[in-house]
A = this chain, B = another copy of it.
């Protein structure tokens, strides 16, 4: 790229012209993206990044993010985009290696918002120890004037010793989560409704590769892991039950939900079990590994409040059943449609 001719700093909002693939696109990329994300693979701005690779299995994943608002307590669209793709690789048992970043920016987006989000992308990538190695930027016409859609894809290395997957789940296995559920979705919905709860209600968005690596290398026989994002805890448990044609029994009193989240869920009329998380995994282990799994999780800062929440059974028909605090039982269903639009 040429030395910059007309600094983007002289404009305070993104213009359609920034997406045209010309001089202005180059300035946007140099001044607002590379300045924060710079690394030796991204810097050449070629059509793709070249990565050395060992023989073995590669895991490849992608997610688009359309969350609104773009920034919220505990995170922003950039943090969940990086964390989400890192987590998708990690729950497959892979070590995240590199991410791509596709930005679709709405004309009118304030440049300082973009800068904060790119800074958050860079910071979250450092936290997860991955690099953004390739990317793309497009600009679309003004709509609300504050829109940004983010796509991240990721590649990771699957160690030959790791074997996690739904097919390993059996009756008597134990189900764990790494901490309090529902914080992300409830934070977003609270901000949208302009409801102020205690200041401790924050999105849990976080890259969990460190926690998962600790679990997988700590001698625990982990059978299955999945991050409980859209569809919440209920969605993941429904997946396990349906795929394996087994039942799952969970104990309400053992499911970590913060008092603030519980209060927010009541106010908003939402079931914490179906609310999205961005930093929570559901983990299935053999019964005799439950204690060591719990201890491995709790040793990590993102697993301090980990808990055993239930177990897999062969009760038929296959259902997810909740033993309530009140001593009752209710069937937990996968949410049907869009209970919480644009939550991630």
Contact = CB atoms under 8 A, between A and B. Distances in A.
B46 A92 contact: yes
Interface string A115-146: 00000000000000000011110111101000
A302 interface: no
Interface residues of A, number: 82
A49 B62 CA distance: 10
A53 B160 CA distance: 12
A56 to B, nearest CB: 6
A165 B61 contact: no
A298 B49 CA distance: 29
A126 to B, nearest CB: 19
A331 to B, nearest CB: 14
B52 A57 contact: yes
A61 B100 contact: yes
Nearest to A56: B53
Interface in A200-223: none
Interface stretch (A174-182, A188-196, A227-235, A255-263): A227-235
A264 B334 CA distance: 53
Contacts of A326: none
B63 A136 contact: yes
Given A55-B55, A231-B20, A91 B47 contact: yes
